[in-house]
Amino acid sequence: MTANASTDVQVAAKWSVDGAEDGAARTRRGRSPVGVFVNSNYDSGNIDVVNISNPLDHITHDVELQIHPDPYCASDRKEHFQWFYFRVSNTANETLNVRITNAGKASYPEAWTGYNVCASYDKKRWFRVPTHYDAEAGVLSWTHTPEHGAVFYAYFAPYSYEQHQALVAEMQCHELVTLEMLGETLDGHDIDLLRVGTDDEGKRRIWVIGRQHPGESMAEYFIEGLLHRLVDRDDATSRALLQQCVFYVVPCMNPDGVFRGHLRTNAAGANLNREWADPSLESSPEVFHVRNEMDEVGVDLLLDVHGDEELPYAFFVDNRGVPTWDERLKKLNDDFSAAFCRATPDFQSEHGYPPAVPNSANLSICTKQVGHRFGCLAVTLEQPFKDNTNLPDPEQGWSPERSRRLGAAMLQAILEVAPNLR
């Protein structure tokens, strides 16, 4: 992630109003001598600046950008990129024509069609800006006149590593929660596990993980909503669940990728969701430590939370391609899906990926490996980057708020299937 000044202007250039030199004039007008400026040099940021036209003038600005790629991913044979997150400063009432000129070479260029960029002034409430994708030129663009001095743009509302740290710090203060650091990443970040409830004999062990792909920030918003409801002592569903189950939750599997502003890989360029058959401390310590903990305590249900760039729905990806798939697991999977549909209309089972061919599963994928390894129900949950077509929200699209509510609703579905997980 980099932040570069415009290539066609000297930031230190002088200009005058009524004969006054640059400093005095800008002080009176309350404007920065830097002019319009783009920066992504912070936690989860990602953008490279190609050019900013006329940053010091009160006119429309053409802002040309490129997304910075992840390290080369050997399993996927490419440098992934699609995630972006940056701030544009000194923008109040300035019209910005933003163009991401390498969008056509992104990991999922088809996903730009129907997509609208996320924007925020306070990094709390995110709204959508109408966005256009020129498939022939490979350029993603939008025009926006911010109301305030700085605006943030992102592929989806970010959930930074700092937010993750705040979440686990908050959660460990609940009496039902134990925080354990399983190990550290290649960049030296903590691999955090939250255990909610007591692991008594006979209890079902429920695993929930997210952010294997760091750019899928909706996953951690989902887990945040799930956790907040799970520790609510006044919530009857949560109390009933914790009588039967203990939860093992890894809110952020890939903190290095999150901090670096990656789309799909960790610091070594590993796609963690292709590392579960043979993880190593050298390339995928995150999976290595989490899978070892699963082997230690066991798994009765795994929910791996993701985001899908193209499909405008929330949906499950089941495990029917694994060798251990049988009628019991099929019924559990169908019951779980139906229960989640009843719990929230933001989930549906009509649209999703094509069903897998029997015995065709790639056991390096998390849910395939864990489901096969433990003979348990294991599902991937996908959420949209765009919106839920069945319940569209033109102002926000799919949002952090809806992800949190989806996570909270998941507990009702788990409660329905918990007695049959063994």
What are the catalytic residues?
382
Query: Measured in whole angstroms, how far is the alpha carbon of residue 115 from the centre of its chain?
Result: 16
Query: Measured in whole angstroms, how far is the alpha carbon of residue 72 from the centre of its chain?
Result: 20
Q: What are phi and psi of 213, to 5 degrees?
A: -100, 110
Query: Measured in whole angstroms, how far is the alpha carbon of residue 113 from the centre of its chain?
Result: 19
CB neighbour burial string for 132-145, b if at least 16 within 10 angstroms, e if fewer: ebeeeebbbbbebe
Assign 315 to helix, strand or coil.
strand
**DSSP annotation string for 285-340:** HHHHHHHHHHHHH--SEEEEEEEESS-SS-EEE--TTSTT--HHHHHHHHHHHHHH
Question: How far is it, in rounded angstroms, from Cα 111 to Cα 140?
Answer: 11
Compute the CA torsion angle 234, 240, 246, 247 (nearest 10 deg): -60
Question: How far is it, in rounded angstroms, from Cα 52 to Cα 348?
Answer: 43
Query: Measured in whole angstroms, how far is the alpha carbon of residue 47 from the centre of its chain?
Result: 17
* DSSP summary character for residue 269: S
Task: Provide the β-strand partners of residue 87.
Answer: 39, 152
Q: Which amino acid is at 335?
A: D
CB neighbour burial string for 183-210, b if at least 16 within 10 angstroms, e if fewer: eebbeebbbbbbbbbeeeeebbbbbbbb
Of the candidates 66, 90, 74, 54, the residue with the CA atom closest to the CA atom of residue 4: 66
Whether residue 97 contacts residue 62, with contact meaning beta carbons closer than 8 Å, is answered with yes
Whether residue 119 contacts residue 128, with contact meaning beta carbons closer than 8 Å, is answered with yes
CA end-to-end span of the chain: 47
Provide the token pair at 308.
């899908």
Whether residue 333 contacts residue 377, with contact meaning beta carbons closer than 8 Å, is answered with yes
Of the candidates 266, 249, 227, 246, the residue with the CA atom closest to the CA atom of residue 75: 266
Residue 104: CB atoms within 10 A of its CB come to: 16
Helix (H) / strand (E) element for 342: namely helix 327-343
Of the candidates 87, 5, 97, the residue with the CA atom closest to the CA atom of residue 46: 87
